[in-house]
Structures are given as C-alpha cells and as structure tokens.
Amino acid sequence: MDESPIAELLAAVDTLDLDAVTAHFAPDGGLMTADGRRAQGIDEVRTLLAEFLGTLRATSHRVTAQWHEGDTWIAEVEATYELDDWMQTSPLPRAFVLRQAGDRVADLRIYGAHERPLADHAEGGLGSWVHGRWVPPL
C-alpha cells in the first residue's frame, strides 16, 4: 500500500515508541480506541496511548485497503498484538477513520470487530477479566 497518514501512524505504533506515535497528533487532536476509550487534546491522547502501549510486548498492523477523500482517510487493518503477559492475538480486524489537520492527526477513531456472538459465553457466568478488571457483558 502507498504510504498514508494511517500507515505512517501504525508504523510508529509498531515500534512501541510513545513519542513517535504522539508526534503524529495535532495539539488539539482526538482519539477513540477500539474499546471505546476517548481522549481530546495532546495530553489526554499521550496518556491514553501510554496506557495502550504499556500493555504490549509487540504489535504489528497490516493495511489491507484504504480510501482517501479530502482530509479524511479510511483504512481496513489487521492488527496483531502480544500483550505484556505473553498472550498473543491472531489478526484482529480494525477500521480506522483519520481526519487530518495539515500534516497532523486531528481526529482518529478506531473500530474493532472481534467480539464474540452474544449467545456464545463461557460456562459459569457472563463477562470476563481483562488486565485484572472484571468486564461485564453489555
């Protein structure tokens, strides 16, 4: 794929370098992660990115398709993560919607599609533990 702001940002994410990732965002930039967390302004974005990157040992992203119209980029991405507890994910489908302000990210929204079917739940109860926190079903 040709380089796009999304590909450039993901290359920085894959280095796990917080400063390199944060440098892509505008001072008033916004971020919404695949799990619904939000940040507005560079300080909040940096904090949210630090939390995300801090849970990872390694990550890789592959842009499989992308579109560009005006200041907006949309990409389909396969994301693979190795968490700090050594748990590995298979490629997870993601959709990225990025709006630019000049050469910086004004707004980035990441959508995930790896949830299990509602009727598919573990025996003994609903919900799961994620990084030491109980996450109830919606």
Residue 128 has a pLDDT of: 62
Task: Give domain limits for the chain.
Answer: 5-115
List all residues 6 or more positions away from 97 whose beta carbon is below 8 Å from its beta carbon: 72, 73, 74, 108, 109, 111
List all residues 6 or more positions away from 47 whose beta carbon is below 8 Å from its beta carbon: 39
Starting at the edge strand found earlier in the chain, the sheet holding 56-69 runs 38-40, 25-32, 104-112, 92-101, 72-83, 56-69
Return the CATH number of the domain spanning residue range 5-115. 3.10.450.50
Q: Report residues of the chain scoring pLDDT below 50.
A: 1, 118, 121, 124
Length of the chain, please? 138
Question: What confidence tens digit (pLDDT) does each residue in 73-106 have?
Answer: 999 999 999 888 888 887 889 999 999 999 999 9
Tell me if 40 sits within 8 A of 28, measured CB to CB: yes
Residue 84 has a pLDDT of: 86
**pTM score of the predicted model:** 0.80
